[in-house]
Structure 1
Amino acid sequence: MALEGDELEAFIRRIPKTETHLHIEGALPYDLLHGMDSGRFPANPHFRSPSYRYPGFVEFENILLDHAVVWFNSAERYHEACKVMFDRMVSLNIKYVETSFHLHMIEFIGVDGRDILSAIKSAVPKELEVKVIGGMVRNGYSEKMQPILDNLHSWEELDGIDLHGQEWLELENWTPPIWEKCREAGKIVKCHAGEFGGPNKVYEAIDTLGSRRIQHGVRSVEDKELVKRLAGEGAVLDVCPLSNEKLQVFPSLEDHSLRELVDAGVTCTISTDDPLCFSNDILDEYRALAARLGFTKAELAQFAKNGFEHSRLDGEAKRKFISEIDSLLVS
């Protein structure tokens, strides 16, 4: 069933939703920066315009870091930003979140990683379940970070790990042992792949790192055997459509691979990635999928259900939210 207008708006607001691909530094509420220094951070910077497209990943990364490091200079600043961010998620009827913080901020700002982690978790409201992921870059095994990264599996309060950043860099030898130890410790093991890198990076994520949670993965369609494998093995792609458009992974959203992935049986979830840079929220993502890619009410609901089905919520909570989605489908 096609959705439009008030019916679409009401439906996407009412369905319980998840965010499973979200970077804390990239989700810094921009109004916090504007309120701190309106001269340096104008109300409507050019890169947050709906029509703006980033020339490439490096330019995007530079803007993100140039803004994030101004704010995130202490554990307390993480708590303050996350309090605003999480409260807004509740208002959008988001119930479950997997969000990563950039582990290398430990080195940048000289704050203990466990203090940052505690500050994030202490900002979580009772209406929201949040799992915190430690994100690292492919060339980040510095003298300072080595002992930290090697011991992430022992951080009981850390829910998972992720490899992000410049995807075209080679996978270094230190990485697979960390993924293996964290997987054995029961943590979520993710990997950014198949965004600016091709299918070979997705193969690397699933075969070398043992990840079945792929962040993006949208270029998997360039290898039909890979798509069959993702579908057959039950891998999950945490897709961020508007991010892909803004970063010109595809010429436009209408050219996105999501429809092909879904039709091939690949499990996908929908998230926002870096709202600081893209000026988007989860409602914008669902609106765009309906209005510009023709996803139906049932398909939008399935994206939401996928997020819960593959979450770390307990079985009762999963069933509750999935049942609520099913009820809204027939109302």
Structure 2
Amino acid sequence: MAVTIVGHSVTVIAPTCPAETRLYEHGRVIAEDFPADQVHEKLAAHPQAVLWLDLYRPSAADLAAVAEEFHLHPLAVEDAAEEHERPKLDHYPEHLFLNVYAVDVSTDPAYPPFGKTEISAFVTDRALITVRKAPSDTARFIERWESDAELVESGGVAFLLHGLLDVVVDGHISATQELDVAMDGVEDVLLEEGGAPRDVRMRGLRLRKTVAALRRAVAPMPELVASAMRKDLGLVDDDLAPYFRDVEDHARHAFDQVEHLRDRIASLLQADLAEQGNVLNDITRKLAAWAAVIAVPTALTGYFGQNLPYPGYAKPWGYIESIALILVSAGGLWLYLRRRHWL
């Protein structure tokens, strides 16, 4: 994208990666899907316009070309090239740099439970440059900008940034709602008497892992949005400030929901563990009770099996008497344990 003059020819170095472009002026789109090598020309021809440039998996050369055109700081370019950067907003002399994660949660066991797309963005005076490191649907950003097109005239680049953050934060809220619904199904089984089957417990553990991954994407967002509204940055004017505060409120709500989900799934798993302990204690108590019942006839037959005379010894009615004694003793113990709910 940088312009290099060699003799009388002009060589334009533009990104070669897949790119999307849109140019806004006075609240309407005046150009879109034009080649990245025309960005410099479009901005020069429309001094009041602002640009959205999206780069998908750019190479180092692509980022270098964009950095030279828009005077991007090398540290910000380095962060945009690296993957798995934490969500943040950094202030550089000529631009802002932010890193956020758009998330996608699936509660269907047949599909991966959690996916996220890392989005880096440079915010300059006249351009919002996004860098995506994984496939994602940019149509959601465009739809949001078009639905709030009346704000673009007063908001400029801040309007584009608002749409980006709003879509990302709305995705976080949708993810928390899907996980909350999924936990309802797990809760119904986990809290049943006798403990949950192993597959349900494993699903609960997967949900806990998903919530932990979601928290890493959601937790920094309230502070990130609040930082974008700082007066010393001069990015958000009085007209757009309420809209950014709304996004911040949604970000805090998403974070609160994630914390609630963490507490909820931890409580459910703990309750299931306690129920399993209760079942184990019940089984142990029953085994001990049956051992006591069996011990009575064992003791009696062992005693009468000695070479000692007893009532009815060597007589037919003595055998019947011993059997009756065994049954009465064992039956009495069984009734006693039954009344105490040990059996």
TM-score with structure 2 length normalisation? 0.29
Which of these two proteins has the greater Rg computed from alpha carbons?
2
| The structure with more helix, counted as a fraction of residues | 2
**Structure-1-length-normalised TM-score:** 0.29
Higher relative contact order (CA 8 A, sep 6+): 1
